[in-house]
Amino acid sequence: MRNACQSCGMPLKRDPHGGGSHADGSRSSDYCSHCYVDGEFAQPDFTAEEMRALCIENLTAGGVPKIMARLLTKSIPRLKRWSAK
């Protein structure tokens, strides 16, 4: 999942802003703009399971069947942000 956000798993090519932003304004190649803004995580106190629940909620709200949303998010706990904890 190298070309995916290392917090939520979203493919970075689907990020409308091309990635999150560091404090200096440069683009992050690890995190999407939904998860990482101005060098900080948008949900700094989230656990991997809370992030997964949020992603499932957002995917199903967008029309993705719940079972598919669960499959798409199952790798979240193994992403860089969460494996470091």
**Amino acid making up residue 9:** G
The answer to whether the beta carbons of residues 78 and 49 sit under 8 Å apart is: no
- At residue 65, the pLDDT reads 98
- At residue 17, the pLDDT reads 93
Question: Going residue by residue through the chain (85 aa), what tens digit of pLDDT does each one get?
Answer: 569 999 999 999 999 999 999 999 999 999 999 999 999 999 999 999 999 999 999 999 999 999 999 999 999 999 999 987 6
| Cα–Cα distance, 49 to 4 (Å, whole number) | 18
Count of C-beta atoms within a 10 Å radius of residue 7? 26
- At residue 14, the pLDDT reads 93
